[in-house]
Structure 1
Amino acid sequence: MRIRLDQIVVSQFKRIESLTIELKPVTALVGGNTSGKSSALQAAQLGVSILQAAFRGIRGNGNPDFAGTVSNDAVLFRPTEQLLDLRRGDRATQNLGYSISYRGVDLDTNTDKEMTIEVRRGKNANIAITRTGDDDLAAVLANGDRPFSILTPGISGIPMREEWRTKGAMDAAVMHGDANLYLRT
C-alpha cells in the first residue's frame, strides 16, 4: 500500500494540548523559540517509532500483528529518556496519556485512512499502546523493511544529555564515523 499523509494530530504531548498539522509536499513549521515546532516534529516521529517497536509482523490471514505494550528501550527514537514523561502537565498514567493521529490516503485505492496511537503507562514499567483506526495504515508506518520517517533536519529540541570531551577525544570520535553522536548542526 502506498500512502500520502495529509494530517498529523498531536494531543497532550509536552506543552501541546492539541495541534493539527496539515501536510503538503513541503510543510514548514514556523514560530518563535519555545513555540512547539520541535515538539510537533518529535511527536510525529515518536508515534512512528512506537508503532515500529510494537509491530510483530503480518499474520497468516494478512492482518498486521502489534504488541499491546513495549518497553521504553525498545523504542528507537526517544526525545527524552522516559517516554511517559512526555505527557502534557504530568507523567502519563494507566488512565491518562498522550496521542498521535495520522490521516491520509491510500494512493492505490484512493481510500481515506486514519489511525491513532495512544500512549499510557503499562504494567511492569512498560508503555501501553492503544491503536484505533486502520491497521493497514499502522502496518505501513511500522514496516521496518520500508521505513517511514518524519524528516527533522537540523537541531530538533534539546539533547538528552551533554558531556564535555577533550579535543583529542572529539577528533578520534569524529574520525571513526561517530560525528553525529558528538557534533550538532
Structure 2
Amino acid sequence: MTKFTVISILALIFVLPILMLLPIKMVPSGDQPGYGDMGRVSIYGTRTFTQEFISKNNNLMAVGTTIKNPNLKNKKNINFSLYDEKNNLIREVMLNGFNVGDGDFVKIVFDPLSDSKNKKFKFIISSPTAGEEEIIELFLITPTDSVLNYNYGEETKEGGIPMVTFHKSEGVLTNVKTIYSNIFSKWRIK
C-alpha cells in the first residue's frame, strides 16, 4: 500500500503539471497589475491615450490593463491601435464597452508579433463615438522598466497605465522544462 501511495504522489507531481500546461496559449510577462496610484484619465470622443512600452519577450500577443467603465455607461467601441518604433500601424483591435465592466482587467489580444523582445511599441486607446457621459477611464502609474511614457491631450509625461504584456507560449515542452527547473531549483541545497 505504501509503494502505491508513493508512486501515486510522484505521478501527481510529475504528470499533473504537464496536463495542466496543455491548454496554455499565452504567458504573462509579469504579475497582473493593480490600480494605478497617480490618478486617472478619461477617454471619449477626441480624447485619446497613447502609451509607449517595451516588450520583455518575443511573440507579443496581448496587453492587459484595468479599464474603468463608470456605471457601465460606455457601450460604444473602444479602439486599440498598436504601432512599432517607426510609427507603423501593426495591429488593431476593437472592443465593445458593453463587454468592459467597471474596473475590469481587460486583455486585448491580437496576432502574435514574433520578433518583439526588447522592442519599443506604442498603443493608442480611443473611444471616438462615446460622449462625455460615456467615458472610460484608465489608471496611471509612475514609469517602470517596461512602461515608459504616455501622451494624453497635448502633454507627454513619464509613466503610463499599469499593464502586463502576454506572449505566445513557446510550446508544452518549453513550459514543462520551465516548471520542472523551477521545482528542482527549490530543492537544491545552497
Would the TM-score normalized by the shorter structure come out above 0.5?
no
Q: Taking structure 1 as the reference length, what is the TM-score of the superposition? A: 0.27
- Larger RCO of the pair (alpha carbons < 8 Å, separation 6+): 2
Q: Taking structure 2 as the reference length, what is the TM-score of the superposition? A: 0.26
Higher strand share: 2
Q: Give the number of the structure whose alpha-carbon radius of gyration is greater.
A: 2
